[in-house]
C-alpha cells in the first residue's frame, strides 16, 4: 500500500470512529440528575441558577457541548445537568 493510500484509509477509519463517539457524548439524551437525590441535595443543585452569572454552562466542572441545554458534570458521572443549573461548588471556567 502506498503511503498516500495508507493515509486516506487511516483518515476514513478515524472519521467512522468519531461518529459513534459523538453520539455517546450527547448529554441531552443522558439520564438527568435527580434534584431530590442525596448528592444533588448535598450540593444544593438546582436546574435554574439562583446566582446571576453562575451557571453549569460556565462552570469549570461542566463537560460536553456547553451551547446545549443539558451538559455533563464531573461531579455527576454519566448524568446530565441543566446548562442553566447551579450548585454550591460552582467555579468559573
Is the distance from CB of 93 to CB of 56 less than 8 angstroms? no
Structure letter (DSSP) for residue 68: S
CB of 34 to ligand SF4, least distance (A): 13
Told to check if 64 binds ligand SF4 by CB under 6 A, we report no
Whose Cβ is closer to ligand SF4: residue 11's or residue 45's? 45
In whole angstroms, give the CA distance from residue 91 to residue 2.
51
Whose Cβ is closer to ligand SF4: residue 5's or residue 48's? 48
Whose Cβ is closer to ligand SF4: residue 19's or residue 91's? 91
Cell representation of residue 5: 493510500
Site string for ligand SF4, 22-61 (x = CB under 6 A): -----------------------x----------x--x-x
Q: List phi, psi (to 5°) of 91.
A: -145, 140
In whole angstroms, give the CA distance from residue 68 to residue 41.
24
Amino acid at each position: 500500500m502506498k503511503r498516500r493510500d495508507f493515509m486516506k484509509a487511516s483518515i476514513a477509519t478515524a472519521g467512522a470512529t468519531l461518529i459513534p463517539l459523538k453520539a455517546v457524548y450527547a448529554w441531552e439524551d443522558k439520564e438527568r440528575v435527580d434534584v431530590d437525590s442525596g448528592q444533588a441535595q448535598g450540593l444544593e443543585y438546582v436546574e435554574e441558577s439562583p446566582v446571576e452569572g453562575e451557571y453549569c454552562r460556565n462552570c469549570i466542572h461542566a463537560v460536553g457541548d456547553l451551547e446545549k441545554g443539558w451538559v455533563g458534570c464531573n461531579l455527576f458521572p454519566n448524568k446530565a445537568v441543566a446548562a442553566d443549573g447551579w450548585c454550591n461548588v460552582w467555579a468559573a471556567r
